Amino acid sequence: MTSPAPALEILYDGACPLCLREVDVLRRRDQRRHGDSPRLAFVDIDAPGYDPAAHAGVTYREAMGRIHAITADGTVLRDVEVFRRAYGLIGLGWLYAPSRWPLLRPLADLAYRVWAGWRLRLTGRPDLDSLCQERCGLDRPSAVGAGATSESAPSEPAPSSP
């Protein structure tokens, strides 16, 4: 009998100490709750073999800028919604439930965007452009032009988060 596919694939920065702690908590709780049929899978975007094509097209720059996850049906989730879904799958959804409330949702989303913008700096890492230059040989994105890709010119500025 085969295990069902995980319900959520979380893309995380394996070089971020805070991200690694969160992944460890999620992984341990998932193992305790679901045993050999985990509901969560984890993909280290900082690993040399990270391939956007295998992960719903989420580029290194996008994934380093803010947290992403991919559902079993291929839907890409971003930001606080990733945490809401992940914690719900491991039986701790109540922790993020208030972030769904109409008055708190915008505040939770804003708090995450602020955190995402500072994550790399707070963890002693180079800025996003430097990481992308080192990793991908890409220069700082400029205006979208002919031949530009989402990797080299994202449609919106991406803050720095797992």
Q: Quickly list DSSP for 105-137.
A: HHHHHHHHHHHHHHHHHHTTPPPHHHHHHHHH-
Whether 52 has a pLDDT exceeding 90, the answer reads yes
| C-alpha to C-alpha distance for 95 and 110, rounded to whole angstroms | 18
Domain that holds residue 31: 8-136
Question: Has residue 51 been placed in a domain?
Answer: yes
In a domain, 92, yes or no: yes
- What was the pLDDT predicted at 2? 63
**pLDDT higher than 50, residue 82:** yes
Q: Residue 9's pLDDT band (boundaries 50, 70, 90)?
A: very high
Q: Is 153 among the domain residues?
A: no
Number of domains in the chain: 1
Residue 97 within any structural domain of the chain: yes
What is the spatial distance between Cα 30 and Cα 33, in angstroms, rounded to a whole number?
Answer: 5
Residue 142 lies in a domain: no
| Contact (CB, 8 A) for 36 and 3 | yes
The two structure tokens encoding residue 6:
């995980």
Residue 143 lies in a domain: no
Q: Which residues of 20-38 are buried (b: 16+ CB within 10 A; e: fewer)?
A: eebbeebbebbeeebeeeb
Per-residue pLDDT tens over the stretch 125-138: 999 999 998 887 65
pLDDT for the residue 1? 54
Q: Is 27 within a domain?
A: yes
Sheet containing 40-44: order of strands: 40-44, 8-12, 68-71, 76-78
How sure is the predictor about 4, in pLDDT bands with cuts at 50, 70 and 90?
A: confident
Q: Is residue 154 part of a domain?
A: no
Q: Please give the model's pTM, rounded to 2 decimal places.
A: 0.81
Average confidence score pLDDT of the chain: 86
Of residues 1 and 69, which shows the higher confidence score? 69
